[in-house]
Amino acid sequence: MSQKKKIIIMFLAALLLYLHAGCWSRREINELAFVMALGIDSLDGGKLYKVSVQTANTKTFAKEGSGSTEEKSFAVYTATGATPAEAVRNLSQQLPRRLLLSHCRLVLISENLAKSGVEPVLDFLQRNREVRETVWVLVAKGQADVLLEQEFDMEDIPADTLSRLIKLGEETSRGYAATKRDFLYKLTTARIDPVAASVEVLPDVAREGKPGVQLGGLAVFRADKLAGWLDAKETRGFLWVTGEAAAGSIVLDSPLVPGKVTFEFLRVQSRVTPQVRDGRVVILLDVETQGDLGDLAEPWVSRGQDNSGGGMEELIKEVERGVQETIEDEILAALHRVQREYKADIFGFGDAIHRRLPNEWRKIEERWDEIYPSLEIHIKVSANLRSSGQTCHYRHR
């Protein structure tokens, strides 16, 4: 290699150093506002969108352990705009840092906006490249920005409190939180209607001036519009049908034992099978569950009493029958509310027919909205009591 070539290569290599200084569009942590939760309200009867962001105050994280909580660990900013995207842009008028939506955990949509249609909001969420598919889409009972301002117990940032509540709610079969992906899948698929979890503040159960918060019943949508709510019982009915129920308890009155019995279910499976009967499409719904005895009131009353197993079969049968009835009851409550009142197909029965009986579906596709409210659904529940827990005591009356 000639001397000249060497010099040129050295020069080019030195030029490379400039590129190593960093990215063109780098964004340092102290220039960013980490959005933990996004709230969207509608104003002026839907003409304006009001966007509120709950941002983490990174300064308080640095002072960990000091214990002085004079400074709030989060801040809420709001702005309005004619579209969700414009409202988010308008936030920069008051927020000195650049928004980063990648860490956003949940999107809260206010009740009013949900009623008038959430499609513009979800379109914005899908086009935006920062919002992950795993964010939860929630409906706030009341206003979203008010809810985001609330400080709750335990976690420093309310968005964390909410997302833990959601996780626990799902684990104990109290609710079902749709992610952006779930919601958009159901919204774009014409044969399923979306649902979303709701969040409500409980001002009555305040602790140290901080109100309580809870995961409410499901918000039922018809296409992109909020049709109504489900209560706790109906929400669990929905979970039974879709097989989303994870674990939880059912309390029974049993004539065989003096008090009440708790059945702790652990495993739930459900199967939706559409079938043609007498020229009409009906849905067969099979729900299977398995669980243990959680408690049995007064099993100890007389010590050393009969432990030989007499009457055990009756008790097991009794509990299993009671569980079946309760589950059926909950499913019927949900079906009744959703099918007759809201006329929303949140269980995806239409989609099940489309998958399994595509030829039948083509016949009824056009009239589905009329057929659905009177669709016949045959429910079959089977419960299996697996064990009596860490004790084998029970008392036979």
Binding site for other proteins (CB under 8 A): 24-25, 126, 129, 132-134, 181, 184-185, 188-190, 354-356, 358, 362
Residue (18 or 301) nearer to other proteins, CB? 18
Nearest approach in angstroms of CB 83 to other proteins is 18
Residue (317 or 362) nearer to other proteins, CB? 362
Nearest approach in angstroms of CB 281 to other proteins is 14
Residue (241 or 385) nearer to other proteins, CB? 241
Nearest approach in angstroms of CB 161 to other proteins is 17
Q: Would you call 49 helix, strand, or coil by DSSP?
A: strand
Nearest approach in angstroms of CB 186 to other proteins is 8
Nearest approach in angstroms of CB 357 to other proteins is 8
Residue type, 355: R
Give the C-alpha separation, 6 to 8, whole Å: 5
Nearest approach in angstroms of CB 82 to other proteins is 22
Residue (217 or 274) nearer to other proteins, CB? 274
Q: Which residues pair with 215 in a beta bridge?
A: 199
Residue (76 or 192) nearer to other proteins, CB? 192
Residue (47 or 129) nearer to other proteins, CB? 129
**Cβ neighbours for 104, distance < 8 A, ≥ 6 positions apart:** 35, 36, 37, 38, 130, 131, 132, 135
Q: How many residues does this entry show for the chain?
A: 397
Strand runs labelled E in 223-359: 225-229, 248-253, 260-277, 280-296
Give the C-alpha separation, 193 to 178, whole Å: 12
Sheet of 280-296: strand order equals: 248-253, 260-277, 280-296, 376-387
Give the C-alpha separation, 220 to 115, whole Å: 10
